[in-house]
Structure 1
Amino acid sequence: MVRSATPPPSPAGTRSRRPLAAAALCGIGLVAAALTAGPATAGSAAAESTGAASGSSLAAATPVPDGVLMSYVVNSKANPGQTRLAERAVRDAGGTVVQSWPQIGVVVAHSTSADFREDVVDVAKGHAVQSVGATRTAAVKTPTDAAPPARSLTRSTETRSAFEIRQGVSATEVVEADPLEGQQWDMTQIKADVASDGSRGVTVGVLDSGIDDTHPDLAPNLDAKNSVGCTAYGVPDTRRAAWIPTTSDHGTHVAGTIAAAKNGVGIVGVAPNSLMTSIKVVDDDGFIYPEYAVCGFVWAAEHGVDVTNNSYYVDPWMFWCSNDPDQAAAKEAVRRAVSYSERNGVVSAAAAGNSNYDLANKTTDTTSPNDTTPVTRQIDEGCEDIPAELPGVVTVASTDQAQAKSTFSNYGDGVIDVAAPGTRILSTVLNGGWGLKSGTSMASPHVAGVLALLKASHPDASPSELVALLRAQADDRPCPTDVRCTGTPAYNGFFGDGLVDALDATGGR
């Protein structure tokens, strides 16, 4: 469900998500300078909030070692003048401005000073800078120690990239190259196999590990001109080398589900006449840091993208908590980017995650931060999986071939919007091949494809209207005999409003 300040009337059988807690109780991590307090606005299209932590107290600051190069976001009001003042504050504090997004009031900065966060606030003298936060707990790699590996498109069927392991995605099981539509049970489950495809003219941005532009099922529908890499500290890079895969076939697999061409080769995607833009946000170590995601959403907003797919969570925190100022500032930067893309007509789908975790009843996190040493921390609803739990984003759970919840899929009453197939999904992989993967990463692109079909059928619909249609058309799936599943047949925590329906999205019945 789109969580906007003025949501459209809920279609029959839908249910709004529960509100976020006013105060977050999650725990430890690096701490930023936050200038104001109070909950962020609920609306994805509302005025930009300060990004400060909610709750009555902030976590104690954890020192950053002096001399270690760290990455930060500095949030200001969203206008060029305020952003320039924030840039000046970064430089006066001894930092380096890496990238600025005045559209949303976000500056990406690097510094080796242990006091950078406090110094930026001090030199700003209470003006321009609203919040500052470290985007990671590990040091930034310099070009000399972050040289990419030699590119190889050869992938073992038994191995996964570091990114895929962290996301909980299964290893690729490669299948023989042959016309494979008969093996796409997932397309039958959501009725994409009988839906008419009028998605020509719609563009889907695949925020992921890159798309193999040489694959015969993907090359016809890839918009290379508007593809970009965002992993160079969040600075857009349009060179082909920046947006093709280097260490993972994950993005290539996702892309095939969305829009593999109907060309007599291999498989067919949900929306095979749509275009895809490769927006690479996964670096060669498998991380998606906040500045990468910000770059990706702003790029989508300004380069003709109608739909984005986001089969990942932003690193290094599985859940970003609002009472930790570092996490709050970084989460606010990503929220602003998502909101900006929505205001520019982009609708987004995101994977709910693969930890079989109840997102409506968060208690602990033992996996974060994943770029240094994880700790066990107490969390609650103020700690969010981003981008999946951000306002305006469709949160997607996974089903198996029997239309049951996939064993790995996260769930949550009031959190999950819809469900789609995600177990042993056949799609495109590197070297022109096809293979099977499992994960909510595989479910989300089905929804992105259906959103593309809806956009084609309703070209003037806003993102919130498209989401309302998506949810209203979804096929109800009642709870099984499982005490974890709460709700009704029309809406519950396992399937949300139900399985997405590609046939209804194209006007069929």
Structure 2
Amino acid sequence: MSQRFSGRTCALAVSTAALLALSFLGGPAIAAPAEAPSTPVPIETPDGLLMSYVVNVKNPNPGQTRLAERAVHDAGGTVVQSWPQIGVVVAHSERSAFRTDVKRVAKGNSVQSVGATRTVGVSEGTPEIGDSPRTPGSRGASSYKKKSNAQPKLDGFVAGDVEAVAPALDPREGEQWDMAQIKADLAQQITDGSRRVLVGVLDSGIDSTHPDLAANVDLASSVSCIDAGRPDTSEGASEPTTSAHGTHVAGTIAAARNGVGIVGVAPNARLASVKVVNDDGYIYPEYAVCGFVWAADHGMDVTNNSYYVDPFEFWCDDQSDQAASKEAVRRAVAYSEKLGVVSVAAAGNSSYDMSVKTVDRGSPNDAAQPINRVINSGCHDIPTELPGVVTVSSTTRTEALSSFSNRGLGKIDVAAPGSAILSTYPGGRYANMSGTSMASPHVAGVAALLKSTHPNATPAQIVTMLRDQADSKMCPTGASGGAFCVGSELRNSFFGDGIVNALNAVK
């Protein structure tokens, strides 16, 4: 986790947030000062370096998508994956002029934007188009620079101690203070949710053999998207390889009530493993696009997204590469919502006020050295700041905001427990982990309960219920962080509309 504010910058953030709060709460309108452009981050694409791109068509439809595919070919690229549902084409090319040439040769002025999705060469190589999906571990040649941190980022989750399951297999619900905080224990006296509800875990894969998860993982609906953004349904593709993160998230959502280990928020819900994290811990835009479209087309009701899309913590509208990738992910999220999917996302672990964009010190995180860059209000954490997505901050056992949690008036929708959360871990084990990554799945579980009790509710209605039914939580006072919290009891920058309430969801 990184501490993003210090000294003078912190004071500026507080005063600006206070001005914004006045307007938000009905006070006098205050004109915001003109914003500076974000610091340019040029992505070099020299001839001979295999790079990945998204190509967005102007009018998303199959015909325009076919024209974009032809333009990719004519510009010296390879079409890796097309999503005509949203008018997005994923392409690879070794040509430095690829971005310019695609727009130049596109017939009918069909291409809206083209952008590189990462700052380094493609690690996975270009899939053999027309062949069956490759099995996990099959890699092409690469000039990719591997992350120095062996553990995936996934919104900066913090791993705690790993514990083997107790020999007697005694239930461990008594250790799950988080379930009591959101009243899931009381909700489960009424219902454990419905088997018809399917929750997609867009993450690092789920251990489908874990005794608390095996009954609930729907392998037929699971997929891996890390093969350059192309769906891979081969055996084992959606299982975890280098990270326990997805397995931990899955347990919080829907660990089964089976007399073993723990119990999830919605223990009767089914889970789909949608693997969007590669073995080096990156979630590139094409992986996320694949995940959201897959969830939409395979009948998922809820997705949990405990990550931010790499390599930028904030993607800026005033930079062409970033804007194109951001637009591709936005289209995928909007498409999934249109087909009935509620998307829940972690707010992030940078102790950052997302309503006052100032600097980003950790992007791009796939470069040899990230830069300190100025950002502005057109720079967004995706998917958590995209329209329709439920943004979740993290609370402690005492219902305080977790020290690592991002915040922001008008940015946070609801809060949920995220500090030292006990959940499932690969190999039939259990572990405590902390992060907004752990808070988000509590809300995804409550959304699954709402879908169980309101099967005909739209995503917008589910989101409204999540917020309206949350337990209002006031800003803290004194030196415990109150100086950074703005807003009212009804809605503030720490907790949004409050701590999510599972009991209200099933009453």
TM normalised by structure 2 equals 0.86
Paired residues of 2:136 and 2:237 also in contact (CA < 8 A): no
Paired residues of 1:148 and 1:284 also in contact (CA < 8 A): no
Q: Which residue of 1 aligns with 2:160?
A: 172
Alpha-carbon distance, 1:194 to partner = 1.0
1:426 aligns with 2:418: no
Q: Which residue of 1 aligns with 2:51?
A: 70
Q: Deviations over 1:365-422 (max 9, x none)?
A: 0100011131111001110000000000000000000000001000001100000000
Describe the SS at the equivalent of 1:241.
Answer: coil
Alpha-carbon distance, 1:144 to partner = 10
Q: Which residue of 2 aligns with 1:278?
A: 273
Distance 2:81 2:475 in 1: 47
Q: Tell me which stretches of 4 or more aligned residues in structure 1 moved more than 6 Å.
A: 20-24, 144-150
How many residues of Structure 1 are paired with residues of Structure 2 in the alignment? 453
Q: Which residue of 2 aligns with 1:133?
A: 115
Alpha-carbon distance, 1:479 to partner = 0.1
Q: Which residue of 2 aligns with 1:241?
A: 236
Q: Which residue of 2 aligns with 1:104?
A: 86
Alpha-carbon distance, 1:436 to partner = 0.2
Map 1:33-432 onto structure 2 (within 5 A). Answer: 63-76=44-57, 77-124=59-106, 127-143=109-125, 162=150, 164-165=152-153, 167-178=155-166, 179-195=171-187, 196=190, 197-372=192-367, 373-432=369-428
Q: Which amino acid aligns with 1:74?
A: V
Describe the SS at the equivalent of 2:260.
Answer: coil
Q: Go from structure 1 to structure 2 and tell me whether the alpha carbon gap of 1:118 and 1:169 turns closer, same or farther (over 3 Å shift).
A: same
Q: Give structure 2 stretches of 5+ with no counterpart.
A: 1-23, 128-133, 139-147
Q: Which residue of 1 aligns with 2:485?
A: 485
1:437 aligns with 2:433: yes
Q: Deviations over 1:251-301 (max 9, x none)?
A: 000000000000000000000000000000000111000000000000000
Q: Which amino acid aligns with 1:174?
A: V
Distance 2:90 2:137 in 1: 26
Q: Which amino acid aligns with 1:492?
A: N
Distance 2:267 2:149 in 1: 27
Distance 2:390 2:194 in 1: 20
TM normalised by structure 1 equals 0.86
Q: Go from structure 1 to structure 2 and tell me whether the alpha carbon gap of 1:21 and 1:169 turns closer, same or farther (over 3 Å shift).
A: farther
Q: Which amino acid aligns with 2:162?
A: V
Distance 1:23 1:340 in 2: 31
Q: Go from structure 1 to structure 2 and tell me whether the alpha carbon gap of 1:234 and 1:253 turns closer, same or farther (over 3 Å shift).
A: same
Q: Give structure 1 stretches of 5+ with no counterpart.
A: 1-13, 31-61, 151-159
Q: Which amino acid aligns with 1:172?
A: G
1:25 aligns with 2:17: no
Q: Which amino acid aligns with 2:412?
A: I
Q: Go from structure 1 to structure 2 and tell me whether the alpha carbon gap of 1:116 and 1:374 turns closer, same or farther (over 3 Å shift).
A: same
- When the two chains are superposed, the root-mean-square deviation of aligned CA atoms in Å is 2.4
Q: Go from structure 1 to structure 2 and tell me whether the alpha carbon gap of 1:24 and 1:277 turns closer, same or farther (over 3 Å shift).
A: farther
Distance 2:249 2:295 in 1: 17
Q: Go from structure 1 to structure 2 and tell me whether the alpha carbon gap of 1:122 and 1:66 turns closer, same or farther (over 3 Å shift).
A: same
Describe the SS at the equivalent of 2:225.
Answer: strand
Q: Deviations over 1:137-178 (max 9, x none)?
A: 01002459999669xxxxxxxxx9745446311123113413
Alpha-carbon distance, 1:333 to partner = 0.2
Q: Which residue of 1 aligns with 2:6?
A: none
Where relative contact order (Cα < 8 A, 6+ residues apart) is larger, the structure is 1
Q: Deviations over 1:107-128 (max 9, x none)?
A: 0000000000000011015611
